[in-house]
Chain A
């Protein structure tokens, strides 16, 4: 039974790539609970299974065995179409290399999840600009990714992850391509805007400079979570709650009430 307020619940989750002699055990029995309103970091050396775990949690990869519940759904029980819809509605992604579409402006990139959900173009772009403004990027809304600095691109990526009001945001090394100062600024923004009582954030990182932003840090090695520590010094949760209230007041009252094109 998964408790209320649980974003991610996993018991003995494994992931094996390949067969026979070429088998690789990427995850070896992951037990993890992530609650809504928390920012959890997955840390560990390269090859420890962080990214694989993130992919399994987001339904981009299937678990080989074990029990996994994400936002009350069991990804293994969903059809491919249901899984895509689940991701589209409930998950926000921030990638290491930003993965912004070079042909689209910052505001257009931010609007992509809404467009994918069938929101009309003008509405989606307006919402994108609005969100960029709350992230201090209003003046760069019409810039192409190639015209933005790394920090600016990551802020655009963050806005893209937030625009459709997902319940779970996953970030893959969000600061690794940034210098320390910019990375810290991005994390401040992320913890202030992304963390809310009804949303969880998972960050995969190597970057020890940002550990202070975490509520929990799961240390991984060789496909296992070797330790899970609570970061009691972190004020990010409270900061996040305060900022989330401010963001909500700026955002649409109901982000899912957009007119759709039926796409």
Chain B
């Protein structure tokens, strides 16, 4: 009877393709908007994720998230190092500066000053040069997007210079740093060098990056640091989540995306649901005949569910294909780099589609189940 169900489904081409298009469009819209939302909301934590050597971030107790920091005193670094369970701790400067290119174009840049000796916090994904080139005087590593802004059309090669605070910045490498939220260029330099690039500030110590000794968790050591120093300590995941939640609570981004997602959900639920319902109701007479002939209710329910699953599966596959194609193109563009289609989103949308077609088919099934087969004798 599956054959009969499938032929009934595809017979009305307009409704069949309408159903598939509605689900495909809704799936695509959901995948697109949710993935972009996740991608954008992950950006404030870009610089946190890019630091792979340290597990613990220590900061001023009132710090809300990574983009707004109040500098610590230099002595705080030693206090952190003295906490039992801390294997090592290094300084990290994070601030904004202004860089000017050779042709006069300038931009605000995110400047990261990493520990001179260990280079903890330096970019790990290099497109050109090496992090050890930071040892050179005035050296800095710039990210690909920043390089292409200051040197459009030029090959990704070290050796170019910028100016910051009337000082020469020698580009010794190009990194593939994750895109920041504000799309500013990202410059890495040595901690001692950062002072020259941003001008005199009394304190430069934005964060202390620390590593727990083997066998201890970042969480436990973080709590010890907080208890001993009175500073705030977060592991990388917590600190990334802080950034995510800050933007979630303090910007209109969630509302904006939320509305689109809601519309996609409503359209994706109502249109296919209604169309599928009408499709089943139009076939009620035939289902009645099948019941009279001796097809069981269970078999008819499975026929309707099969129809729903085929429509849902096909629509979902097309929608995900469209979304995958979209992100495979946009991932190569600088403004949208790093925004991808996570498998969790695909899985989540599969559940949503399953729910939608399941709901639609259940509404239809109800009518079929209560259908009196004697209706077939009523002309």
Contact = CB atoms under 8 A, between A and B. Distances in A.
Interface of A: 51, 54-55, 58, 60-61, 81, 84-85, 87-89, 91, 93, 95-97, 99, 101-104, 108, 112-113, 115-117, 121, 160, 172-173, 204, 263
B104 interface: no
B19 to A, nearest CB: 15
23 contacts: A54-B377, A60-B292, A61-B374, A85-B294, A87-B292, A87-B293, A91-B294, A93-B293, A95-B376, A101-B286, A101-B289, A102-B11, A103-B10, A104-B8, A108-B3, A115-B3, A116-B1, A121-B3, A160-B293, A172-B377, A173-B379, A204-B377, A263-B299
Given A93-B289, A103-B7, A108-B7, A87 B294 contact: yes
Contacts of A115: 1, 3-4
B379 A99 contact: no
Interface in B254-297: 285-286, 288-296
Contacts of A88: 293-295
Please name the 10 residue pairs, one residue from A and one from B, whose CB atoms are nearest each other, closest first.
A88-B294, A103-B11, A99-B289, A60-B374, A55-B374, A103-B7, A87-B294, A51-B377, A116-B295, A103-B8
Given A51-B377, A60-B374, A93 B11 contact: no
A104 B4 contact: yes
Interface string B165-191: 000000000000000000000000000
B312 interface: no
Q: Is the interface of B mostly helix, strand, loop or mixed?
A: helix
A99 B374 contact: no
A193 to B, nearest CB: 18
Given A115-B4, A263-B1, A99 B296 contact: no
A116 B292 contact: no
B282 to A, nearest CB: 10
A204 B290 CA distance: 20
A112 B4 CA distance: 8
Interface in B1-33: 1, 3-4, 7-8, 10-11
A131 B89 CA distance: 88
A81 B8 CA distance: 25
Contacts of A81: 296
A120 to B, nearest CB: 11
A17 B290 CA distance: 24
B294 A58 contact: no
Contacts of A160: 293
B299 A51 contact: no
Given A104-B4, A115-B3, A60 B296 contact: no
B4 A95 contact: no
Given A81-B296, A99-B285, A263-B299, A112 B377 contact: no
Contacts of A117: 294
- From A51, A103, A113, A121, name the one whose CB has the most chain B CB atoms within 10 angstroms: A103
Given A60-B372, A103-B10, A93 B3 contact: no
B373 interface: yes
The range of chain B's interface size is 20 to 34
Nearest to B287: A101
Interface string B110-134: 0000000000000000000000000
A115 B289 CA distance: 14
A13 to B, nearest CB: 15
B244 to A, nearest CB: 51
A63 B11 CA distance: 38
A160 to B, nearest CB: 8
Contacts of A61: 372, 374
A84 B296 contact: yes
A121 B294 CA distance: 17
Contact of B290 (A51, A85, A112): A112
A116 B376 contact: no
A116 B290 contact: yes
Nearest to B283: A101
Given A60-B374, A95-B377, 12 more contacts: A51-B377, A87-B293, A97-B285, A99-B286, A99-B289, A101-B7, A101-B289, A103-B8, A108-B7, A116-B293, A116-B299, A263-B299
A97 B294 CA distance: 18
Nearest to A124: B3
Nearest to A95: B376
A170 to B, nearest CB: 9
B378 interface: yes
Given A115-B1, A116-B293, A263-B299, A99 B8 contact: no
Nearest to A161: B293
Nearest to B282: A102
Nearest to B12: A103
A89 B11 CA distance: 29
Nearest to A116: B295
Given A99-B285, A103-B8, A104-B7, A55 B294 contact: no
A113 B293 contact: yes
Contact of A97 (B3, B372, B379): B379
A55 B289 CA distance: 13
A100 to B, nearest CB: 8
Nearest to B11: A103
A87 B295 CA distance: 9
Contacts of A102: 11, 286
A135 B11 CA distance: 26
